[in-house]
Structure 1
């Protein structure tokens, strides 16, 4: 069954939150596709993931490269799944893809300070529940650790 995790960002950006979540995904041996809201956004994230920390290497590529199917993390602006990922991150109000049932896990990162993003997350929560997905809601505590909320 597909699990959909909703990460409510407040006071933190996707650029701050995404790299550690991707590191955890790789540590678990997962293949990941990250869907951004535009090609420009995917390119910006691509550059960021190479430089976000001096002591870290996060192997990834964009959907444009010829060997995307061999990459553990692929950044895209489309609904495609070029690396046969089982985990999909949705950014920038990206909708659930038509093939959502084909993923083990979908991770929606949304800006809690943006009314449109909150509204879209609520709609996606309802859609996910109606499709029989297991849904969980996550919010960071004061120390920045993610806590599952009821």
Structure 2
């Protein structure tokens, strides 16, 4: 985390959906020995994403819980619609237009947005512009034709 706040990475989902991208990014965070929080505005989406993590690969799963479930403070990946960092996560994933603030407890924030959804694009652009104006440490990631992620800004 910088003195001004976390690194903030925008992920523009164009070729893969959230249910394909999120598990891969969360797996990388866990491999770095970090905890994650996934902030989601919609409870149904949170349930679908949580299930996708339990079944994302035939030979592996990503253990996760919800703030309303048992022992949220012990979860390596915690789904929430709130802003408290209950599981002391270092990485924050913001999906589904969920609220951004506060972020000072996190080293890195991932903002994932659907490139096919005009409202999501408009909101991401506004968030980018606002953060850029504060001098935040922001980066933009776009998926290549081959499906790899490339830093574009």
Is contact 1:8–1:109 with CA below 8 Å preserved after alignment? yes
TM-superposed deviation, 1:127: 2.2
Which stretches in structure 1 are left out of the alignment for 5+ residues?
none
Point out 4+ residue stretches in structure 1 off by more than 6 angstroms: none
Which stretches in structure 2 are left out of the alignment for 5+ residues?
none
Is contact 1:30–1:87 with CA below 8 Å preserved after alignment? yes
Is contact 2:85–2:105 with CA below 8 Å preserved after alignment? no
- Inter-partner Cα distance in structure 1 for 2:134 and 2:92: 17
The residue aligned with 1:124 is: 127
Is contact 1:95–1:124 with CA below 8 Å preserved after alignment? no
The residue aligned with 2:39 is: 35
TM-superposed deviation, 1:96: 1.1
TM-superposed deviation, 1:55: 1.0
- Inter-partner Cα distance in structure 2 for 1:30 and 1:131: 26
Q: Secondary structure of the equivalent of 1:58?
A: coil
Is contact 2:15–2:147 with CA below 8 Å preserved after alignment? no
TM-score, with structure 2 as normaliser: 0.91
- Inter-partner Cα distance in structure 2 for 1:120 and 1:95: 11
TM-superposed deviation, 1:136: 0.2
2:142 maps to which of 139, 142, 150: 139
Say yes or no: does 1:71 pair with 2:81.
no
> How many residues are paired up?
149
TM-score, with structure 1 as normaliser: 0.93
Q: Secondary structure of the equivalent of 2:147?
A: coil
Is contact 2:9–2:140 with CA below 8 Å preserved after alignment? yes
- Inter-partner Cα distance in structure 2 for 1:26 and 1:121: 26
Deviation string 1:106-128 (CA, Å, 9 cap, x unpaired) is 10000111111011111111222
Say yes or no: does 1:103 pair with 2:106.
yes
